[in-house]
Amino acid sequence: MYNVALLGAGRIGQIHAASVAAHPKCALAHVVDVHQPAAEALATKYGAKVSSVEDALADKNVDLVMICTITDTHADLIEAAARAGKAVFCEKPVDLSIDRVRECLAVVKKHNTKLMVGFNRRFDPNFAHLQQSLTSGEIGNLELLTICSRDPAAPPASYVKGSGGLFRDMTIHDLDMARWLLQEEPVSVYASASAVVSPEIKEVGDVDTAVVTLTCASGKIAVITNSRRAAYGYDQRVEVHGSEGMLAVTNVPETTLVKSDAQGVVAQKPLHFFLERYAASYRSEFEAFITALEGESGPAPSGLDGERALILADAALESLQTGKAVAVKL
C-alpha cells in the first residue's frame, strides 16, 4: 500500500486525488493547500487529513508525494520531498529556469529519488496507440512528424505573464511529444511566432501563434504548430509520416452525433479542453507511476525529460529572438 501526500488541491490536484483513491494499491493520506477549504474538501472526500508540507513530508508512512502546486514552488518541493526520501510525481515544469532545473535534478540524483514529470499526453490512449504502432515498425522509419496543438481560448494576461511564455508553458508538451516519438534528440530548433490572437499577450511581450521546427542529425524533421485560440475548441493532433505509411491521431469529438441538414454535415467539436480530452491520460499516468515504483527502471517521463523539453523551449525562444536556427546539444 502506498500512502500519498498531495500538495496542491486545485483543478489538477483533484484529478490526481481521484486517481489515487481509485488505485487498489494507494491511499490518500495528506492533502496540503494554501487555500484551506480546498484542502479540506478533498481530504474529506477521500478520508485523508489536511496537512502542512512539513507534516506531510515528516510522516514516515508517506511513500510518495504528488506536487500539483503553482510552478515556482515545484523545484523546492521536489528537493524537500527528495530529502525526505519520498518518491515524487511533479506536474510539469520542474522550473522555468534551466539552471534551477539542473540544481533540483542534482538533488534528486543525490537522493536517488524516483521522480516522474507530468507529461501526461504520453499516456493518452490515442497517442500511446500511435507510439506503439510506430515503435513496432508499422510505418517503417519516421521521416516527418507534425504536431498540432491549439488551445480553445487564450489565457488571461495575468497567467501569461508568469507562464514563462508560449514555448515554456504550452509548446513544452509538444516538445516532449516530439522527443518521445522521434526517438532521437533534435540538433536544431527554429521558431517563427507572432501575437495575432490577443493584444494582451502582445502587450506582455509574449506570442500566441507559433511554428517550431526541430531537425535531427539523421534527417528526421518535426514541426509543431501552436495557437492559443481555436474557435472550434481544443485541437490536439499528431501525424507521423514514415517510409511505409502515415499514422495520425485526430481529435476526439464530444459525441459521435452527426447532423446533416441544409447547412451541411455537422459533426461535434473536439472535447473542449485538457480536463475532458486527457481524462484517461491522467489515470494511466498515475498507474504507470505506481508500476514504475514497483519495477527496477525509474519512472518515465523522468526529470531528464523535463530538463530536455525545457532546453528545447529555451532554444525556440532564442530562435525567435535571433531569427536564426539554434543548435542544441542534449
Q: Which is closer to its own copies, CB of 34 or CB of 231? A: 231
Does residue 136 belong to the site contacting its own copies (CB under 8 A)?
no
CB 109 within 8 A of CB 94: no
Does residue 183 belong to the site contacting its own copies (CB under 8 A)?
no
Cis peptide before 301 (omega within 30 of 0): yes
Residue among 41, 154, 196, 292 that touches its own copies (CB under 8 A): 196
C-alpha cell at 76: 523546492
Residue among 156, 199, 245, 295 that touches its own copies (CB under 8 A): 245
Please, what is the minimum distance in Å from the beta carbon of residue 308 to its own copies?
Answer: 19
Burial class (CB in 10 A: 0-12, 13-18, 19+), 70: exposed
Facing residues of 144 across strands? 221, 241
> 155: helix, coil or strand?
coil
115 residue type, one letter: L
**Cell numbers 502515415 correspond to what residue?**
246
Site for its own copies in 106-135 (CB under 8 A): 125-126, 129-130, 133
**Looking at 7-15, 30-38, 50-58, 142-150, which segment touches its own copies (CB under 8 A)?**
142-150
**Looking at 89-97, 112-120, 175-183, 184-192, which segment touches its own copies (CB under 8 A)?**
184-192
Residue among 14, 227, 281, 302 that touches its own copies (CB under 8 A): 227
Please, what is the minimum distance in Å from the beta carbon of residue 163 to its own copies?
Answer: 20
Does residue 68 belong to the site contacting its own copies (CB under 8 A)?
no
Return d(Cα 9, Cα 78) in angstroms, integer: 17
The count of residues interacting with its own copies (CB under 8 A) is 71
Return d(Cα 272, Cα 2) in angstroms, integer: 33
